[in-house]
Structure 1
Amino acid sequence: MKYNQVTIKDIARELGISPSTVSRALKDHPDISPQTKKAVNELAEKLNYQPNIVALSLRQSKTNTLGVIIPELVHFFFSTVISGIEDVAYSAGYNVIITQSNESLQREKTDIKALFNSRVDGMLISVSRETSSFEHIESILAKGVPMVFFDRVYENANSSTVIVDDLSGAKEATQHLIDQGCTRIAHLEGPPNLGITKQRLEGYIQALNDNKMPVQKDLIVSCPLGTIEEGKIAAEQLLKMPNRPDAIFATNDPAAMGAMQAIKEAGLKIPQDIAVVGFSNWFFSSLLEPPLTSVDQPGFEMGQEAAKLLIRQIEFKSKDNEDPAPETKVLKTRLIVRDSSLKKGKPKK
């Protein structure tokens, strides 16, 4: 069925008045009689008239709409980020359009074009794991569109970013395993082109160095997709080693969950034989058996901060036609200790 949007001309035709009279009546103009205003508003409501946002934006150069690109909607962390974005945006009088790249560079390119063509006032972006070139982003930035990057960021001198302290979070997670008496700690490494992967690996290495423990390359296994399946395969590879690890720190919770499956299928116990720690604190982490220790990221706060930065940038620019100085907000993580990493007799901290 074809969709036909009711216009001011349709209302004018129905009432036998001019479109300009309808327009002024809808805006409660003092020159229009109360009777005409009443007739126009009643008919507009009956016909479900909605203003044409695109047409209004062409006249006003502002749509009060923010565009958001995230890698995956099903990702619990990103769903909390969206909640934070909406919390700030709606309070400030902005609507939100959400798209997902589905971890595809091509989808990301399509989404960014669609948001630009929808005349959003600015964009909030977390790049896909395939994104290693940024020409598509640079072309939109060159058109003057305000952008703020969050979590997975494009690092350039002209854009604000909101990130969590992945390095410190990973370091704390690894230190926790060392404190539990673990001496051979493996790391399941994430997508190689993402900054968060590099920061989590660096935190793992720093904790080992601080405790004068060797960094063994054979204990660092790549999980470029960070999925449950990859985590399981990586853990199976580690379990085949003559001197298997006594702990695994995974780049995210799905990889940690896959590792837990492999450990159980091998007839080993968690954490007695192998302790496991994840990253992100997904909603299912506490429901696993045993419950998964994980690094919690403040997703809601990240969304709030990213939206605040973008709205500030939009309103600063609309006032002075200049961009404010870019900012980087770094949010703290928190280690949530559960049974998957607690060796017998070791109390929770």
Structure 2
Amino acid sequence: MKRHQVTIVDIAKKLNLSKSTVSRVLTGHPSVSDKTRQAVLELAEQLDYQRNMLSISLLNRKSNTIGIIVPEFISSYFPQVIMGAQEVAAEAGYNTIICHSNETYETEVANTKLMLANQVDGVLVSLTKETRNFDHLKIFERKGIPIVFFNRVCEDMDVPKVMVDDYEGAFRAVEHLVKRKKKRIAHLAGPDSLPISVKRLKGYKAALKKYNIPIDEELIIPYDLSIGKVKIYVNHLLRLANPPDAIFCINDPTAIEALQIVKKKGLDVPKDIAIVGFSNDFASDLIDPPLTTVSQPVREIGSTAAQLLIDQINRDVSEWKSIIKVLKTELIVRKSS
């Protein structure tokens, strides 16, 4: 038997109140007495009343919902960012819709359509490795819906962004390897479509230049972040006539995979070849040897991005500001280097 869904009319009848009074209570309107508010909320809880969020959003022109679009869940990075964002959103009275684009442009486009269909008040986005066209994201701007990028940002859009100092983090990682007497430092880089890849590559090159170590393009391998390809590239590096004595990786999943491959070859880490990652993923401290990595304030990235988004939602469209927040990284030295 189908269960009757409790409506505002049911609550109004039981309390002998008008529908408009009950509606004002359930939508948080201030012009209701405390006694009436308490009676309505208590009965609503007893009857397990579920608000029709679409109807409320049509009335208020707000859904009190924000969207979060992330490219992957391979590492702990994006789940931690989401947790940081959700804490701020919940405190401000916002629900969250989370979409995973699985590193594909087509899925990211579909995710944005879902966000628009659910009438989100704003959206946090980290781009896929494939995203080079941003028309689907510019729709939010045209509709007056705030958007904030984090980590993998769109430099073509003049909107708020939250990122870390990727250049500085990469510079310090490579400088650390140089100070460990490493001279042939390879770099497994990310795709040049991502600004973080470009900045980390620049940091890598700047550190080598500072210490007068020639930049050997043979040791720089950009790749599409597909972990299955790491074995191909690491084996290629090890087969060089003059192989590297260290590898700086674009992120921790790449570094962890590289470390396992090097060990299977019977090489000692870090004596024969040192390995450094970027992100300080949960797994980086659990492998053998533990991974040296560049730590990012991941929760802070999420909370900062969410607060920027909510600030934008609460402003008039004409007052939106394209704030850029750049957070600091920290080199965590472990036994892989």
TM-score relative to the length of structure 1: 0.87
Retained in 2: the 8 A contact 1:197–1:251? yes
Partner SS, residue 131 of structure 1: coil
Shift of 1:20: 4.8
Shift of 1:197: 0.8
Partner SS, residue 98 of structure 1: strand
Give the Cα–Cα distance (whole angstroms) in 1 for the partners of residues 28 and 182 of structure 2.
Answer: 72
Shift of 1:45: 3.1
Farther-moved stretch of structure 1 (239-248 vs 56-65): 56-65
What amino acid maps onto 2:150 in structure 1?
F
Query: Unmatched 5+ residue regions in structure 1?
Result: 342-349
Show the 5 A alignment for 1:158-197.
158-197=158-197
Identity rate of aligned residues, in percent? 48
Shift of 1:54: 1.3
Give the Cα–Cα distance (whole angstroms) in 2 for the partners of residues 155 and 11 of structure 1.
Answer: 51
Query: Unmatched 5+ residue regions in structure 2?
Result: none
Match of 2:248 in 1: 249
Partner SS, residue 339 of structure 1: coil
State whether structure 2 residue 262 is matched by structure 1 residue 263: yes
What amino acid maps onto 1:324 in structure 2?
W
Shift of 1:40: 6.3
Distance 1:106-1:285 versus aligned 2 partners, 3 A rule: same
Partner SS, residue 188 of structure 1: strand
Say which of 297, 320, 323 aligns to 1:324.
320
Give the Cα–Cα distance (whole angstroms) in 2 for the partners of residues 169 and 35 of structure 1.
Answer: 57
Partner SS, residue 256 of structure 1: helix
What amino acid maps onto 1:295 in structure 2?
V
Farther-moved stretch of structure 1 (62-71 vs 45-54): 45-54
Partner SS, residue 123 of structure 2: strand
Match of 1:103 in 2: 103
State whether structure 2 residue 295 is matched by structure 1 residue 296: yes
Shift of 1:242: 1.4
Match of 2:119 in 1: 119
Partner SS, residue 233 of structure 1: helix
Give the Cα–Cα distance (whole angstroms) in 1 for the partners of residues 102 and 44 of structure 2.
Answer: 39
Q: Deviations over 1:195-245 (max 9, x none)?
A: 111111111111111111111111112331252x32222111111111111
Match of 1:68 in 2: 68
Retained in 2: the 8 A contact 1:188–1:251? yes
Shift of 1:64: 2.0
Shift of 1:59: 1.0
Match of 2:285 in 1: 286
Give the Cα–Cα distance (whole angstroms) in 2 for the partners of residues 188 and 257 of structure 1.
Answer: 12
Shift of 1:98: 1.4
Match of 1:347 in 2: none
Retained in 2: the 8 A contact 1:232–1:255? no
Retained in 2: the 8 A contact 1:191–1:226? no
Distance 1:22-1:181 versus aligned 2 partners, 3 A rule: closer
What amino acid maps onto 2:299 in structure 1?
F
Partner SS, residue 225 of structure 1: coil
Q: Deviations over 1:9-48 (max 9, x none)?
A: 4556788987457546868999999999898666533431
Partner SS, residue 319 of structure 2: coil
Say which of 320, 326, 340 aligns to 2:336.
340
Give the Cα–Cα distance (whole angstroms) in 1 for the partners of residues 5 and 270 of structure 2.
Answer: 61
Give the Cα–Cα distance (whole angstroms) in 2 for the partners of residues 29 and 224 of structure 1.
Answer: 50
Match of 2:79 in 1: 79
Partner SS, residue 318 of structure 2: coil
Give the Cα–Cα distance (whole angstroms) in 2 for the partners of residues 54 and 268 of structure 1.
Answer: 60
Show the 5 A alignment for 1:19-168.
19-20=19-20, 23=23, 44-168=44-168
Retained in 1: the 8 A contact 2:140–2:147? no
Give the Cα–Cα distance (whole angstroms) in 1 for the partners of residues 29 and 269 of structure 2.
Answer: 71
Retained in 1: the 8 A contact 2:246–2:274? yes
Match of 2:203 in 1: 203
Distance 1:48-1:293 versus aligned 2 partners, 3 A rule: same
What is the root-mean-square deviation of aligned Cα atoms in Å? 2.8
Retained in 1: the 8 A contact 2:75–2:253? no
What amino acid maps onto 1:332 in structure 2?
K
What amino acid maps onto 2:287 in structure 1?
L
Shift of 1:86: 1.6
Give the Cα–Cα distance (whole angstroms) in 2 for the partners of residues 46 and 189 of structure 1.
Answer: 57
Shift of 1:51: 1.8
What amino acid maps onto 2:122 in structure 1?
G
Distance 1:211-1:32 versus aligned 2 partners, 3 A rule: closer
Farther-moved stretch of structure 1 (24-33 vs 73-82): 24-33
Shift of 1:311: 1.1
Q: Deviations over 1:117-140 (max 9, x none)?
A: 211111111111111110101122
Give the Cα–Cα distance (whole angstroms) in 2 for the partners of residues 256 and 126 of structure 1.
Answer: 21
Retained in 2: the 8 A contact 1:250–1:256? yes
Give the Cα–Cα distance (whole angstroms) in 2 for the partners of residues 293 and 146 of structure 1.
Answer: 37
Give the Cα–Cα distance (whole angstroms) in 1 for the partners of residues 30 and 209 of structure 2.
Answer: 75
